């Protein structure tokens, strides 16, 4: 058992060992990314001491930074490799994008709350993450001008997966999204495109903030 300290590097090791590896995440590249990305740099100052806790945390705008295990699980389910292009729907803090950026060619992330997008851009820039592009807009529409994507991850819950996301998924691509009641427990589903067919596999129960579809003003940063 890891002894808790205030050192973020030690806390990150403890987080990966106790919260992630112990729950069955096996992809060595995902584990390495979770060890490398400083989660405390993506939370509000008031939340820094809780950054490596086994829970989601509020980041403002009614949004959260996901539980570390859920970030690792969703990232592993994407099956990323260095030549893949990723679409993230719901930038939030920018943490999920930062983790994915270590494993793929580029990440395009869409966030409807301008203040969160700006904060995420700043955090990513401070950490010299150069292969993530944060866009302000309605992520439920995807990002057609950059499609197709090899992987799409949705960090908010929806009762119905937006059709645009299936349309923008490359052949062989994987879409990871929590589906179900936005007021209760959802199920994390993994969709995989095989030509015109899309296969669906259920993963785990989860709870995410709702995906909001609106006419958010577009800003490419």
pLDDT tens figures, 4-26: 678 999 999 999 999 999 999 99
- Kindly tell me the number of DSSP H helices and DSSP E strands found in the chain: 6, 9
Distance CA 51, CA 168 (A): 33
Spatial CA neighbour of 34 closest among 59, 57, 58, 51: 51
- In percent, the amount of the chain with pLDDT more than 70 equals 95
Q: Facing residues of 110 across strands?
A: 89, 135
Question: Pairing mode, if any, of strands 186-194 and 197-206?
Answer: antiparallel
Residue 49 pLDDT > 60: yes
**How do residues 117-170 score in pLDDT, each as one tens digit?**
999 999 999 999 999 999 999 999 999 999 999 999 999 999 999 999 999 999
Distance CA 4, CA 92 (A): 27
Domains, the chain, ranges and CATH? Answer: 66-206 (3.40.50.150)
Q: Facing residues of 129 across strands?
A: none
Report the catalytic residues.
Answer: 66
Distance CA 91, CA 110 (A): 6
Question: Mean pLDDT lowest for which of 30-34, 130-134, 206-210?
Answer: 206-210
Spatial CA neighbour of 188 closest among 51, 66, 11, 97: 66
* pLDDT, mean of residues 172-195: 95
């Amino acid at each position: 058992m890891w002894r808790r300290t205030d050192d973020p590097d030690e806390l990150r090791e403890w987080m990966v060992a106790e919260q992630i590896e112990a729950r069955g995440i096996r992809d060595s590249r995902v584990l390495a990314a979770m060890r490398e990305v400083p989660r405390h740099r993506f939370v509000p100052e008031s939340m820094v001491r809780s950054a490596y806790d086994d829970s989601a945390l509020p980041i403002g705008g009614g949004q959260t930074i996901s539980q570390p295990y859920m970030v690792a699980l969703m990232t592993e389910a994407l099956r990323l490799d260095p030549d893949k292009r990723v679409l993230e729907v719901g930038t939030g803090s920018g943490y999920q994008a930062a983790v994915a950026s270590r494993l793929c060619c580029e990440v395009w992330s869409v966030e409807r709350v301008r203040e969160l997008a700006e904060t995420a851009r700043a955090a990513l820039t401070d950490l010299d993450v150069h292969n993530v592009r944060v866009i302000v807009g309605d992520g439920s529409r995807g990002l057609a001008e950059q499609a197709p994507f090899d992987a799409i991850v949705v960090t908010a819950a929806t009762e119905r997966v937006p059709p645009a996301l299936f349309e923008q998924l490359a052949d062989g691509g994987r879409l990871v999204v929590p589906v179900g009641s936005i007021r209760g427990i959802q199920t994390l589903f993994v969709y995989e495109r095989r030509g015109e067919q899309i296969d669906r596999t259920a993963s785990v129960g989860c709870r995410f903030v709702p995906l909001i579809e609106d006419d958010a003003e577009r800003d490419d940063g």
